[in-house]
Chains A and B, each alone.
Chain A
Amino acid sequence: MNNLLIVGQYVPTNSIVHRMDPRVKMLIIFFYVIFIFFANNVISYSLFTLFALGSTILTKVPWRFIVKGLTPVWFLIVFTFILHLFVTREGSVLFNLFGLQIYSGALEQGAVISLRFFLLILLTSLLTLTTTPIEITDAVESLLGPLRRFKFPVHELALMMSISLRFIPTLLQETEKISNAQASRGVDFRTGPFRERVRAVIPLLVPLFVSAFKRAEELAMAMEARGYRGGEGRTKLRELRVVKRDVAALVCFIVIAAAALITRDYS
């Protein structure tokens, strides 16, 4: 199947990060994404880097897996860096590359932006690597809870999310099965002229839609048969609870965020 992209894959290692409250994980990541844009010196960048790498180590997910899983992202990061080298014209000229002048500012900015990009992707992929779709949905439902007062359909949204997440692997599996079956009937998905390849998608898509609709109908029927009536008065099997390790992680993050704000060069 899709070995290349780890975004969206859960790796059960039962580490301390896995056992954290998903709401806390999401909040930290959310604010990390915001606060990293306040970093503008060596200290704050080192702290943010340390935080991301430290969290990665704590997840106990093998490094090799993460590095390989970010393959498509590496490409983007390197691309960003090179783009910066060529277009930014700040600082002094460092050297000449094939007639192009490379500025010191370009090197610096390229490095900083690539680093930022890398950290963002790394930390956000940790969320799905260590949190099951169910936990993510529960966290979303809980975090959006206050919106209920404004008649916002929080429960329905969370349900939709969990159903979609639940069916992604199923659909991928189905896709693989059907593409195997059609390949056995002589369909060539990989070679041939572009027009042919587009046409080859039809035998894949039609059965996929048919089965998706069938599944949706069956699911609706099964839910109704089990008396599903929406979110009203519904209790949870797994209560989310903030415990010591969550507090510790939060404190850790707040310190770093504060350091970034304090050391920031506002000039």
Chain B
Amino acid sequence: MDITFEKVDYTYQANSPFEHKALDSMSFHLPTGSVTAIVGHTGSGKSTLIQHLNGLIRPTNGKVRIGDYVLEPKKKPKHAKALREKVGIVFQYPEHQLFEETVEKDIAFGPRNFGVPEQEIQKRVAESAQAVGLRADLLKRSPFELSGGQMRRVAIAGILAVRPRVLVLDEPTAGLDPRGQKEIMDMFYRIHQEQQLTTILVTHSMEDALAYADQVLVLDKGKKYMEGTPVEVFSQRQALQQVQLDVPEMFQFLLKASDRFGKPVAYQGQDVERLAEQLAALAGDPNE
């Protein structure tokens, strides 16, 4: 499903002393099947933006299109539930939403709400538990007995079991250990490709944005600050530093290497081996 924002404003607590414009004239287009990373300093409006994607909030001004669904100010969307079935959101710390007696029931909660037949639910529970790497013997346990990382996987499985077409991830790896982070991100990427989803990833990790995204959207104080492919965006180190963002380690390293050897080494998506050869060529013949 294509996603389009047209001049979207969003104001919290309008007409009060606490009025706060969290999104300001936001426009962009996310094509079907793409992975988009949304980055920005804390409070820049990322979470506000993604709450528009399944109609939890509606724009104060402007328009949001998600496939055939249109969200407009002051007009209650007619098929909010249908939209929520199509757009799955994994919120920050999704393990906080667990409540059922067993893992199995909690994963089944979403599909059941959307009226999926009972047999199909059983199938989906097993499938999504496997997709997130939960052992079958955990399914009968209480979700509150699990470790933090396992709880997160249960919560994610609960979203996947609804079989959304758009997957929205709000800092899905926050608070996990490095290995767990990589496992979860690789898992999302695999699912994205297998099910041909449209994925939106809110992240503070520039490395993840570089590794997984087709396009990067940089927000600052509710405005769109930059937009482009990861290479395009991360080549502009100074502009990013102005909004308290860093470039991925890879870019930092290459900048240092360029300084050291007095010659620019540009990253254009080449793999590590090719890069190593380029660097070796530079380093090997310093007098040239």
Asked if A64 and B99 make an inter-chain contact with CB atoms under 8 angstroms apart, the answer reads no
Asked if B109 and A203 make an inter-chain contact with CB atoms under 8 angstroms apart, the answer reads yes
Q: How many angstroms from the CA of A136 to the CA of B104 in the assembled complex? A: 47
> What is the total number of residues of chain B having a CB less than 8 Å from a CB of chain A?
27
Q: For the complex, is B94 an interface residue (Cβ under 8 Å from A)?
A: yes
The B208-222 residues at the A interface (CB cut-off 8 A) are: none
Q: Which residues of B contact A14 (CB under 8 A)?
A: none
Asked if A207 and B99 make an inter-chain contact with CB atoms under 8 angstroms apart, the answer reads yes
Q: For the complex, is B189 an interface residue (Cβ under 8 Å from A)?
A: no
The A1-17 residues at the B interface (CB cut-off 8 A) are: 1, 3, 11, 13
A-B contact count (CB 8 A): 68
Asked if B85 and A186 make an inter-chain contact with CB atoms under 8 angstroms apart, the answer reads yes
Q: Which residues of A contact B42 (CB under 8 A)?
A: none
Q: For the complex, is A90 an interface residue (Cβ under 8 Å from B)?
A: no
Asked if A181 and B99 make an inter-chain contact with CB atoms under 8 angstroms apart, the answer reads no
Given A3, A11, A177, A186, which contacts B110 in the complex, CB threshold below 8 Å? A186
Asked if A64 and B85 make an inter-chain contact with CB atoms under 8 angstroms apart, the answer reads no
Binds A, one of B12-20, B172-180, B262-270: B12-20
Q: Which residues of A contact B109 (CB under 8 A)?
A: 185, 203
Q: For the complex, is B144 an interface residue (Cβ under 8 Å from A)?
A: yes
Interface flags, A196-224, vs B, CB<8A=1, else 0:
00000011001100110000000000000
For A204, the closest partner residue in chain B by CB is B99
B4 to A: closest C-beta gap in Å:
21
For A209, the closest partner residue in chain B by CB is B99
Interface flags, B87-112, vs A, CB<8A=1, else 0:
11101001011110000000001100
Q: Which residues of A contact B114 (CB under 8 A)?
A: 186
Q: Which residues of B contact A62 (CB under 8 A)?
A: 17
Asked if B84 and A186 make an inter-chain contact with CB atoms under 8 angstroms apart, the answer reads yes
Q: Which residues of B contact A210 (CB under 8 A)?
A: 96, 99, 144
Q: How many angstroms from the CA of A187 to the CA of B56 in the assembled complex? A: 12
Q: How many angstroms from the CA of A263 to the CA of B93 in the assembled complex? A: 63
Q: For the complex, is A167 an interface residue (Cβ under 8 Å from B)?
A: no
Q: Which residues of B contact A96 (CB under 8 A)?
A: none
Given A61, A68, A202, A207, which contacts B98 in the complex, CB threshold below 8 Å? A207
Q: How many angstroms from the CA of A180 to the CA of B97 in the assembled complex? A: 10
Q: For the complex, is B119 an interface residue (Cβ under 8 Å from A)?
A: no
Asked if A181 and B17 make an inter-chain contact with CB atoms under 8 angstroms apart, the answer reads no
For A205, the closest partner residue in chain B by CB is B99
Q: Which residues of A contact B85 (CB under 8 A)?
A: 186
Asked if A184 and B84 make an inter-chain contact with CB atoms under 8 angstroms apart, the answer reads yes
- Given A206-B99, A207-B96, A183 and B84 contact (CB-CB distance below 8 Å): yes
Q: For the complex, is A188 an interface residue (Cβ under 8 Å from B)?
A: yes
Q: For the complex, is A128 an interface residue (Cβ under 8 Å from B)?
A: no
Please report B residues at the A interface, Cβ cutoff 8 Å.
13, 15-17, 51, 54, 56, 81, 84-85, 87-89, 91, 94, 96-99, 109-110, 113-114, 144, 158-159, 162
Please report A residues at the B interface, Cβ cutoff 8 Å.
1, 3, 11, 13, 61-62, 64-65, 68, 174, 177-178, 180-188, 202-203, 206-207, 210-211
Could you list 7 further interchain pairs (A-B, Cβ under 8 angstroms) beyond the known A186-B110, A202-B99, A211-B96?
A: A13-B17, A65-B17, A181-B91, A181-B96, A185-B84, A186-B113, A207-B97
16 A-B residue pairs with Cβ-Cβ distance under 8 Å, sorted by A, are A65-B16, A174-B96, A180-B56, A181-B91, A184-B56, A184-B87, A185-B84, A185-B97, A185-B110, A185-B162, A186-B110, A186-B114, A186-B162, A203-B109, A206-B99, A207-B99
